[in-house]
Structure 1
Amino acid sequence: MPFVSVPNCGSVGVIRDLSQHELPINAWTDSSNIRFLDGYCYQFYGYGQVYGTPAVTPLHTSPAISPTGTRYWLYASDKKIYAAYINAGAAVHTNLTRQTAGVDVDYSAQPNEWTSTNLGGVPILNPGNKIDPPQQWSLDPANRCTALSNWPANTYCKSMRAYKVFLVALGVTKAGQEYPYMVKWSTAADPGAVPATWDPSNAAELAGEYDLATGGDRIVDGLPLGDALMIYKENSIWRMSFIGGQDVMGFQKVFGESGALNRNCVVDIEVDGQPSHFVVTANDVIVHNGSSHVQVLDKQARRALFQDLDTAAVGRTFVFKNPFLNEVFICYASIGNSVPNKALVWNYKDKTVSYRTMPNVNHAACGSVDNTLNGTWDADGEPWDSDLTKWNGPDFTPNASRVMMASNDTKFYLLDSSASYDGVLPSSYVERVGLSFGTDVNRKLVRSIRPRITGNDGDTVIVQVGTQQTPYSPPTYTSMTYTIGSTLSCDCMVEGRYIAIRFENGTAFNWRLDSFDIDVQERGRY
């Protein structure tokens, strides 16, 4: 076997839940900041700071667009709500916190308790506690947020979501009494307005209440899917549908063993042409279409994910989608961290898993950004060889579908807007260990690696070949430098029973590994 080819080396992605020596040759056992897309291994594009410095540390962010086309990003801290937007080319941060007699009345929110929704163009943010009612905003920076109009006094909810022309409160507290199974919905709202009543006793309106007490698990969150609102409890998923008549809403239990881990752990995507929900549950990651579900990380990364979560910070876990690249990010605090510093990234077209470091992100959302954030070369602070922009052209991702990340470092980051990570060269690598080439008896001699790597000519990627006596022992590596645009082969003389291969960035900000060949000879047993 003089040459072993590894084509489409990004088509499988990382597999951590199975024995590494039994994986396909084009599977990887570890990676960081490498994206698997279209069969290739890309260094993840980075992020850059936008909108200047937030006025407060953002715990939650949500996009909103005014009737005049102004693109806002609302953000909430533990105590305040602000709007960030561009005015005359400059970033503006406007305080929207509710007031009484001209004085801010602070909120009492905690990380990953805020939820947000939009009903007919009206943005609504819910602090998710038992003290502060849902807040609405008029899309005018001259106006502050106010308590949701017509919302009943001394009433609070864990989450609030828009469904059709209704608002739905999930997990309700009334006058200090908690109703953890309650679903409370409004009457139908007029276009551009909030509902006129939430009174279930008013027979002339459609408002109502229903307790999902079956099973005893509490309501966590909800999100629309097709013609229904899917309600996520701790260990079950229910469908709420508008049926009209006296009941108004109908309820049906869909799944009895899967719920949602936290608020903001569900996102809508389209898989194989079907509208679906991606859900992080208490012990699994599933995708469902409202009738059937699939364990998308099973035999790939499910166990590895939950073993990497810091148990004290599990409640900080959340998800968001990056639709332009067909990705969902599971953001979590890894062991020893208290704020999400890592993401498992699942590509729902290619069905691959990758991992990337995250800049202490409290929350992130997908939405539209101001056109001026794309910028031109003259206004661009990144070095040319680390930038994704073309001469006077748009950034890599269309501005109608951008991911805004709210960092605990009091920054807003725009995802996939640069090759650098806020101006810093990231550490990126992809690694495969435990290669036996069909036999674990004989030793192997690796004489060269011939990769196909593209990027900026002159930049370098480090190629490493390692040996292992057992498939589980740590490799001993020999390193070589691959210069993009000139190197054809990385020559070496490395011998061992099991072989490991690793590619990591040297000076390259932006590189892609398509495939590679291994010049390997089988030797004797000893």
Structure 2
Amino acid sequence: MATIPVRRLGSAGIVADMHPADIEEPAVFTAGVNVRFSNGRASRAPVARTVATLPISPGHVLTIPPGAAGYDEIVIVSHDFGSILHLNGLVYEDLTPPGQTGIDGLSTFTSTYLGGVSYINRDTHAPVGKAPGDGTYLSLPDWAPEWRCKSLRAYKDFLIALGVTKGGAYYPTMVKWSDLTGFGAPPASWDSTITTNSAGENIVNEMQHAIVDGASLRDSFILYCTSSVWTMNYIGGNLLFDFRKLYDECGVINTNCVVQVDGMHYVFDKNDIWIHDGATKTSIADQKVKNFIFDALDYSKANLCFVSHDAKLTEVRFMYPSVDRLVGFANPETGCNRAAVYNYGSKTWSFYDVPNVTSGTKAAIISGKTWEDAGDTSWDDLGGSWTSVSGDEASHMLLVSRMDTNQGLSADRLYGFDTLTGGRLPIPPEPEALRPAFLERTGLDLDALGKHLTQYVRLQAMWPQVYADDAKDIYWQFGANDLVGKEPQWSVEMPFDPDVDGKIDINEAGKYLGYRFGVRGISDFKLSGFDIEMTIRGRR
């Protein structure tokens, strides 16, 4: 009989691609959802809290940085680009351009901000901008009404239009830039034929793949195509910009699928997730979660994919529609149901259920709510702290979600995503968006202990190191099997109250072992390790 200590259960995260029997370390999980890993332990993932129920079906959300009003402006765009609303506390202000009508379709949005002006683009419409003092978004000066672009971004003092349609023709490798832009107004000219300004355009003839999106990286602007990546650098003079290929056989899966973190771009590609600094390119998903993500990604809805960055939790979240076996929101049609989450602090992977989300942003929230709005909600369920309730100027991660009654989502919503413990949002979790937390490890063959594959192991007891807000939400399962690659025969779910129980009695035997840990309801937890008692039996 031996008692084996297992510690720092959150140190390696989820490794879903390797065969479980090839993973010697018992602290590595082979599956899991709605769990994050930090400081060597596993805890509950952030939960969705309803900031606002929306009067439009949202396709995009953005933030206008503080201006004269002194606070972030949260702007929600309808999925068809027919409405643009500013959420001001509990009041919606209409920012829709005069005469704007919506157009349904699969086209995605881009938004950017330059010199105090907010811009929104979708290739079904001409881009629009809102300068300080404007009552609504307006058409851009000198941009022809029939021109379109796939993406509109800011770089230095220029607006950059990518994948341009003009004169009735689509130029998939065209980069078009505005004249230099001052503060407080859109650029005055897009006319590349005038020699007295800096506006211009370039069809990059050597580029063999359509441009999907672009993003600044340090002093450069990176162009992401379907299957190649280029850099665009400001050089001044008559040429103004220099174009150079960075990488072949890689690109980006959709617009809004690149974020910059600490001088690195995190890129959601068609068959990998990778990072680069403009020189060195490295996969962060290979041999860990790459196959799990892309084998289950619904490519027919790849236009829904996007990426968000939560600096507070050091997480980059790659949102996509998935058909994996653990999804909590099945068969999404209009939004993403899965987030593959990379924690660049702990260098671990996890997965979250997300409720049909279409876009994300980061903003401080002016809720406009009072204590009376909380009703009978308890302090524990409310979330946040006394400071956050009295006046929170911190930024929160926000996501917009479209109604889908087939997934149990009865309204279009703006969600704030925050942790249950230590969070700053004084809003209770949204029950319709909540899904259980779950961790699983299978294929434990205990090679590191000198056990042979011909030997059996009998699990007899476990002493978990776990804390939970509500013990009734916790359960454990244990399993075993004799053939490599087969699903374990799982025990019944065993409740465990860490305030009362110190030990779980087990009676499972086999050559390959497994365990599951789950938490239902809205309980937070901290799982850092356990001791396991077992007996290695004779060969068979």
- Tell me if TM exceeds 0.5: yes
Per the TM alignment, residue 245 of structure 1 is displaced from its structure 2 partner at its CA by 0.4
**2:298 is the counterpart of 1:301:** no
Q: Deviations over 1:86-132 (max 9, x none)?
A: 3xxx4111222221xxxx42132535511000011211000123xx1
Match of 1:345 in 2: 341
Q: Could you say if the C-alpha distance between residues 31 and 398 of structure 1 is closer, same or farther in structure 2, counting changes exceeding 3 Å?
A: farther
Alpha-carbon contact 2:107-2:122 (below 8 Å) kept: no
Q: Could you say if the C-alpha distance between residues 368 and 128 of structure 1 is closer, same or farther in structure 2, counting changes exceeding 3 Å?
A: farther
**2:347 is the counterpart of 1:354:** no
Task: Name the aligned partner's letter for residue 504 of structure 1.
Answer: G
For 1:290, what is the secondary structure of its paired residue? Answer: coil
Which of 452, 467, 470 is equivalent to 2:465?
Answer: 452
Alpha-carbon contact 1:111-1:362 (below 8 Å) kept: no
Per the TM alignment, residue 84 of structure 1 is displaced from its structure 2 partner at its CA by 3.1
Per the TM alignment, residue 417 of structure 1 is displaced from its structure 2 partner at its CA by 5.9
Q: Deviations over 1:141-186 (max 9, x none)?
A: x722211122234211110001111100000000211111000001
Distance in 2 between residues matched to 1:206 and 1:215, nearest whole Å: 23
Task: Name the aligned partner's letter for residue 83 of structure 1.
Answer: L
Alpha-carbon contact 1:434-1:498 (below 8 Å) kept: yes
Per the TM alignment, residue 484 of structure 1 is displaced from its structure 2 partner at its CA by 2.9
Match of 1:58 in 2: 58
Match of 1:258 in 2: 250
Provide the aligned C-alpha RMSD in A: 2.2
Distance in 1 between residues matched to 2:481 and 2:127, nearest whole Å: 58
Which of 128, 138, 144 is equivalent to 2:131?
Answer: 138
Which of 413, 416, 421 is equivalent to 1:414?
Answer: 416
Distance in 2 between residues matched to 1:224 and 1:293, nearest whole Å: 16
Per the TM alignment, residue 70 of structure 1 is displaced from its structure 2 partner at its CA by 3.6
Per the TM alignment, residue 368 of structure 1 is displaced from its structure 2 partner at its CA by 3.1
- Stretch deviating more after TM superposition (28-37 or 501-510): 501-510
Task: Name the aligned partner's letter for residue 84 of structure 2.
Answer: Y
Distance in 2 between residues matched to 1:165 and 1:301, nearest whole Å: 39
Match of 1:365 in 2: 361
Distance in 2 between residues matched to 1:492 and 1:13, nearest whole Å: 25
For 1:50, what is the secondary structure of its paired residue? Answer: strand
**2:397 is the counterpart of 1:403:** yes
For 2:185, what is the secondary structure of its paired residue? Answer: coil
Distance in 2 between residues matched to 1:464 and 1:311, nearest whole Å: 34
Distance in 1 between residues matched to 2:95 and 2:185, nearest whole Å: 19
Alpha-carbon contact 1:98-1:144 (below 8 Å) kept: yes
Match of 2:115 in 1: 120
Match of 2:16 in 1: 16
For 1:31, what is the secondary structure of its paired residue? Answer: strand
Task: Name the aligned partner's letter for residue 351 of structure 1.
Answer: K
Alpha-carbon contact 1:459-1:508 (below 8 Å) kept: no
Match of 1:423 in 2: 431
Distance in 1 between residues matched to 2:419 and 2:106, nearest whole Å: 26
Distance in 1 between residues matched to 2:350 and 2:214, nearest whole Å: 27
For 1:183, what is the secondary structure of its paired residue? Answer: strand
Per the TM alignment, residue 7 of structure 1 is displaced from its structure 2 partner at its CA by 0.8
Alpha-carbon contact 2:86-2:94 (below 8 Å) kept: no
Per the TM alignment, residue 434 of structure 1 is displaced from its structure 2 partner at its CA by 0.6
Match of 2:498 in 1: 484
Q: Could you say if the C-alpha distance between residues 232 and 109 of structure 1 is closer, same or farther in structure 2, counting changes exceeding 3 Å?
A: farther
Task: Name the aligned partner's letter for residue 481 of structure 1.
Answer: P
Alpha-carbon contact 2:479-2:508 (below 8 Å) kept: yes
Distance in 2 between residues matched to 1:30 and 1:315, nearest whole Å: 26
Match of 2:478 in 1: 465
Matches within 5 A, 1:226-237: 226-237=218-229
Task: Name the aligned partner's letter for residue 488 of structure 1.
Answer: G
- Stretch deviating more after TM superposition (449-458 or 21-30): 449-458
Matches within 5 A, 1:237-316: 237-270=229-262, 275-316=263-304
Distance in 2 between residues matched to 1:286 and 1:376, nearest whole Å: 45
Per the TM alignment, residue 494 of structure 1 is displaced from its structure 2 partner at its CA by 1.6
- Stretch deviating more after TM superposition (343-352 or 148-157): 148-157
Match of 1:98 in 2: 97
Per the TM alignment, residue 380 of structure 1 is displaced from its structure 2 partner at its CA by 7.3
Q: Deviations over 1:335-378 (max 9, x none)?
A: 343231111111112111101111100111223333767x7698
Distance in 1 between residues matched to 2:106 and 2:431, nearest whole Å: 27
Alpha-carbon contact 2:58-2:358 (below 8 Å) kept: yes
Per the TM alignment, residue 202 of structure 1 is displaced from its structure 2 partner at its CA by 1.6
Match of 2:425 in 1: none
Match of 1:525 in 2: 539
Alpha-carbon contact 1:12-1:26 (below 8 Å) kept: yes
Task: Name the aligned partner's letter for residue 287 of structure 1.
Answer: I
Match of 2:205 in 1: 213
Q: Could you say if the C-alpha distance between residues 112 and 303 of structure 1 is closer, same or farther in structure 2, counting changes exceeding 3 Å?
A: farther
Per the TM alignment, residue 423 of structure 1 is displaced from its structure 2 partner at its CA by 2.9
Match of 1:432 in 2: 441
**Gap regions ≥5 residues in structure 1:** none
Alpha-carbon contact 1:124-1:136 (below 8 Å) kept: yes
Alpha-carbon contact 1:434-1:471 (below 8 Å) kept: yes
Percent pairwise identity: 29
For 1:84, what is the secondary structure of its paired residue? Answer: strand
Which of 178, 181, 184 is equivalent to 1:192?
Answer: 184
Distance in 1 between residues matched to 2:170 and 2:140, nearest whole Å: 20
Per the TM alignment, residue 498 of structure 1 is displaced from its structure 2 partner at its CA by 1.1
Match of 1:110 in 2: 105
Task: Name the aligned partner's letter for residue 502 of structure 2.
Answer: L
For 2:387, what is the secondary structure of its paired residue? Answer: coil
Per the TM alignment, residue 512 of structure 1 is displaced from its structure 2 partner at its CA by 1.3
Per the TM alignment, residue 382 of structure 1 is displaced from its structure 2 partner at its CA by 4.7
Task: Name the aligned partner's letter for residue 495 of structure 2.
Answer: T
Task: Name the aligned partner's letter for residue 117 of structure 1.
Answer: T
Distance in 2 between residues matched to 1:246 and 1:415, nearest whole Å: 47
Match of 2:326 in 1: none
Task: Name the aligned partner's letter for residue 266 of structure 1.
Answer: V
Task: Name the aligned partner's letter for residue 66 of structure 1.
Answer: G
Match of 1:322 in 2: 310
For 1:307, what is the secondary structure of its paired residue? Answer: helix
For 2:431, what is the secondary structure of its paired residue? Answer: coil
Distance in 1 between residues matched to 2:296 and 2:473, nearest whole Å: 31
Q: Could you say if the C-alpha distance between residues 178 and 457 of structure 1 is closer, same or farther in structure 2, counting changes exceeding 3 Å?
A: closer
Task: Name the aligned partner's letter for residue 231 of structure 1.
Answer: L
Alpha-carbon contact 1:135-1:145 (below 8 Å) kept: yes
Which of 85, 100, 122 is equivalent to 1:83?
Answer: 85
Distance in 2 between residues matched to 1:39 and 1:74, nearest whole Å: 38
Distance in 1 between residues matched to 2:394 and 2:84, nearest whole Å: 21
Distance in 1 between residues matched to 2:444 and 2:117, nearest whole Å: 56
Match of 1:388 in 2: 383
Distance in 1 between residues matched to 2:395 and 2:366, nearest whole Å: 11
Which of 136, 141, 154 is equivalent to 1:149?
Answer: 141
Distance in 1 between residues matched to 2:354 and 2:284, nearest whole Å: 22
